[in-house]
């Protein structure tokens, strides 16, 4: 089972391939790489698993393999600089194709390296985690972190193709798989109620890593993301919906120093907080919030924010986010499952009050 | 005397303003900045001359002034990182407008900072050297250097406007002015014979810094550049013509460690070498090359490459250039004044031979 569809961005359009055995399909890989020289950027965890297959398929097209240390803490300008050193050392030129093989960190850093190297070279995303497959590999956001904030330095830079081989998920640990499901559920919540219902039916198949179910869930997620990105590539409007739960989640990740919570876990709690706030201000029905909470729970994701956080700190961290515009925190709120919207038109005192109340309940 | 015209790049189109007294025109500056908060990036040499005027005009819109040390050696990822530190420290967000006030180095670094900060914020170029006014401020090329090569890390990122106040040229030293004229002459050579003839008539007025002549020469240069960029924003074809003399010049700059030669001086010699090679292989008439040589000489620019260079080293440095594609050095050659073209179809042994001969003549 394998599917292919396109992210429609005019002359920057590109295909997404989703299926099994893609990384061992020599003809397929050689076909899309053609005769170009290739630089593969991966990390020390992923490379031992999948690098050989790629190198076997691409042969002496592969000019250099760049291995990054594994972890969000290496998503820095320093790491970027080291990638440039190696690309230049291998005399990679403007015609070199960069392949990002790994999870979200590898994709973000390698994609940004491709965006900047000699003012931009072609690159492909080969995401190997569910989170990267349904989120970061599609849409062209690339970045590194800055000590003052996540993804503060980066570019909108579209890949030439995204290759999603679901077989790579067999090596993913359960916690990472569940974290990825948070973003999958997000697409249902923000704009695709039918998909949300499908997820309610099939969440156990996904947790059991049924290949057909994974291909379908990834396809549907990527199609949703592709549609949003096509409508608003540079995040001036609708694309902000993809941030459901992210401003709340960002506060959790910052407060816990990006160490104890996975991104998807923080997003799960963040989405729920956005829904509880939507419910409290009368936008979202209680039964809708409950349905969402049930699915998040069945996916094995956390439901409550870390106990050490107080509401003031929470809002302070929310404010220190790229999504803040002219000082106002823009929230993604919900009207019902399948319908989210961007709001700057809420009472900030009320927000503080409700966050306080949410945190209190769980103390 | 003041002119305004547009660089046509679809939704990325932007105006170029050229005239006198623009930096003291409060209404004009406030009009284009509107109510946005502003970060001004400049350097320690330029800021004392023109920063006050800008700050006076923009008042408390100016959130932060970032001062870089002066010099090409600071065009690095490190400097970039320090700009990010300061923008983040001042809580600049996605709505902040970055103004690059200075020469080519400031424009390149600050433009690249704008391209990457929070994945891209608006920026304006306020170039204060002739070289930056006629070349680097228009066209959206931004970059920093890498120890292995110039401009190796960067982005194509278009400014929102370019403001060229020719009054800033009064503080430029003669050598810098002449170096800027090399790029002005280049536009005549590659695609505008009528402008070349105008330059033959008016080169002395330009050297005497006649304001009307400067406005006209800068306008005509920028219009030529804007047309080329509009036809080929990402340098897949025609834009390469702008590199006349640059591959040869790059070798001179590299060999002399970017210390003793100004960019425009290296380009002047590089253009002449490209023309001598074109003449020797029977493409360009001797009298055409002589006419060009005369104008370059009258502009007070150097005509002969540094004596310490041998032909092998020259070609080695030429090969190590971004413009090399799949290992082939693409040369910009000339058919006549006003008509340059890209060529990969020449005999490389012949190139080596002719460079050797050119270097020998001058030993």
Instruction: Enter the ipTM.
Output: 0.89
CATH topology agreement for domains A2-171 and A174-361: no
Instruction: Decide if B243 is catalytic.
Output: yes
User: Rounded to whole angstroms, how far apart are CA atoms A154 and A345?
Assistant: 29
Spans of chain A below 70 pLDDT: 1, 321-327
User: Rounded to whole angstroms, how far apart are CA atoms B97 and B38?
Assistant: 5
The beta-carbon neighbor of B153 closest among A84, A89, A234 is A84
Top-level CATH class of A174-361? mainly alpha
Q: Which residues of A touch B (CB under 8 A)?
A: 77, 80-81, 84-85, 88-89, 93-95, 115-120, 141, 143, 146, 148-149, 151-156, 234, 322, 324-327
Residue of A nearest to B157 (CA): A119
CA atoms within 13 A on the CB side of A183: 28
Across the interface, whether the CB atoms of A117 and B153 are under 8 A apart is answered yes
The beta-carbon neighbor of A94 closest among B95, B115, B322 is B322
Domain ranges within chain A, ordered by starting residue: 2-171, 174-361
**Domain B2-171, CATH number (from 3.40.50.10490, 3.40.309.10, 3.40.50.1970, 2.160.10.10):** 3.40.50.1970
Quote the minimal CA–CA distance from B32 to chain A in Å: 18
Cα–Cα distances (Å) from B233 to A22, A357, A363, B108, B277, in that order, read 35, 53, 57, 16, 28
Instruction: Decide if B235 is catalytic.
Output: yes
Point out which residues pair with A127 in neighbouring strands.
Answer: A102
Instruction: Decide if B145 is catalytic.
Output: no
Inter-residue contact A180 to A130 (CB < 8 Å)? yes
Task: Give the model's pLDDT for residue A54.
Answer: 95
CATH architecture classification, B175-361: Up-down Bundle (1.20)
What are the tokens at A233? 């590539």
Across the interface, whether the CB atoms of B149 and A88 are under 8 A apart is answered yes
Task: Give the model's pLDDT for residue A257.
Answer: 81
Task: Give the model's pLDDT for residue A1.
Answer: 65
Task: Give the model's pLDDT for residue A307.
Answer: 84
Across the interface, whether the CB atoms of B93 and A325 are under 8 A apart is answered yes
Quote the minimal CA–CA distance from A154 to chain B in Å: 5
CA atoms within 13 A on the CB side of A309: 29
Across the interface, whether the CB atoms of B155 and A115 are under 8 A apart is answered yes
Inter-residue contact A245 to A270 (CB < 8 Å)? yes
Residues of A in contact with B117 (CB under 8 A): 152-153
What are the tokens at B327? 């290992």
Residue in B65, B243, B253, B289 annotated catalytic? B243
The tens place of each residue's pLDDT in chain B, 363 residues long, gives: 689 999 988 888 999 999 999 999 999 999 999 999 999 999 999 999 999 999 999 999 999 999 999 998 999 999 999 999 999 999 999 999 999 999 999 999 999 999 999 999 999 999 999 999 999 999 999 999 998 888 999 999 999 999 999 999 999 999 999 999 999 999 999 999 999 999 999 999 999 999 999 999 999 999 999 999 999 888 888 899 999 999 999 899 988 887 889 999 999 999 999 999 999 999 999 999 999 999 999 999 999 999 888 999 998 888 876 666 666 788 999 999 999 999 988 888 999 999 999 988 877
Residues of A in contact with B94 (CB under 8 A): 322, 325
Phi first, then psi, for residue B196 (nearest 5°) are -60, -45
Point out which residues pair with B5 in neighbouring strands.
Answer: B16
Residue in B65, B75, B141, B291 annotated catalytic? B141
Quote the minimal CA–CA distance from A146 to chain B in Å: 8
Across the interface, whether the CB atoms of B120 and A234 are under 8 A apart is answered yes
Residues of A in contact with B156 (CB under 8 A): 119-120
The beta-carbon neighbor of B143 closest among A80, A89, A119 is A119
- Residue A186 CA, chain-centre distance (Å), reads 11
User: Rounded to whole angstroms, how far apart are CA atoms A306 and B98?
Assistant: 38
Task: Give the model's pLDDT for residue A233.
Answer: 84
The pLDDT tens digits for B24-58 are 999 999 999 999 999 999 999 999 999 999 999 99
Residues of A in contact with B120 (CB under 8 A): 155-156, 234
Across the interface, whether the CB atoms of B155 and A81 are under 8 A apart is answered no
Inter-residue contact B123 to B98 (CB < 8 Å)? yes
Task: Give the model's pLDDT for residue A147.
Answer: 87
Q: Which residues of A329-342 are buried (b: 16+ CB within 10 A; e: fewer)?
A: bbbbbbebbbbbbb
Quote the minimal CA–CA distance from B182 to chain A in Å: 24
User: Rounded to whole angstroms, how far apart are CA atoms A231 and A308?
Assistant: 39
Residues of A in contact with B84 (CB under 8 A): 146, 152-153
The pLDDT tens digits for A12-23 are 899 999 999 999
Instruction: Decide if B246 is catalytic.
Output: yes
């Amino acid at each position: 089972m394998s599917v292919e569809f396109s992210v429609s961005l005019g002359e920057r359009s590109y295909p997404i391939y989703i299926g099994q055995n893609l990384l061992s399909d020599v003809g397929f890989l050689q076909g899309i790489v053609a005769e170009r020289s290739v630089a593969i950027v991966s990390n020390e965890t992923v490379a031992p698993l999948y690098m050989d297959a790629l190198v076997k398929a691409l042969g002496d097209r592969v000019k250099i393999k760049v291995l990054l240390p594994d972890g969000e803490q290496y998503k820095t300008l320093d790491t970027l600089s080291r990638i440039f050193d190696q690309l230049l050392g291998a005399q990679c030129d403007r015609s070199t194709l960069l392949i990002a093989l790994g999870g979200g960190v590898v994709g973000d850093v390698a994609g940004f390296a491709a965006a900047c190297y000699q003012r931009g070279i072609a690159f492909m995303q080969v995401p190997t985690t569910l989170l990267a497959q349904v989120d970061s590999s599609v849409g062209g956001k690339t970045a590194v972190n800055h000590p003052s904030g996540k993804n503060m330095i980066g570019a909108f830079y579209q890949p030439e193709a995204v290759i999603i081989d679901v077989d790579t998920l067999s090596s993913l640990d359960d916690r990472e798989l569940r974290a990825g499901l948070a973003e999958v559920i997000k697409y249902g919540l923000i704009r695709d109620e039918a998909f949300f219902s499908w997820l309610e039916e099939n969440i156990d198949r996904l947790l059991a890593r049924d290949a057909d179910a994974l291909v379908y869930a990834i396809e549907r997620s990527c199609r949703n993301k592709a549609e949003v990105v096509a409508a608003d590539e540079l995040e001036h409007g609708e694309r902000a919906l993809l941030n459901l739960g992210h401003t709340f989640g960002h506060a959790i990740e910052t407060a816990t120093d990006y160490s104890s919570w996975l991104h998807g876990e923080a997003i799960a709690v963040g989405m729920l907080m956005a829904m509880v706030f939507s419910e409290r201000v009368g936008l979202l029905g209680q039964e809708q919030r409950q349905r969402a909470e049930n699915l998040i729970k069945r996916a094995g994701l956390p439901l409550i924010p870390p106990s050490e956080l107080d509401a003031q700190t929470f809002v302070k961290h929310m404010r220190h986010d790229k999504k803040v515009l002219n000082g106002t925190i823009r929230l993604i709120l919900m009207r019902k499952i399948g319908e989210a919207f961007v709001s700057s038109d809420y009472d900030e005192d009320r927000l503080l009050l409700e966050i306080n109340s949410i945190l209190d309940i769980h103390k």
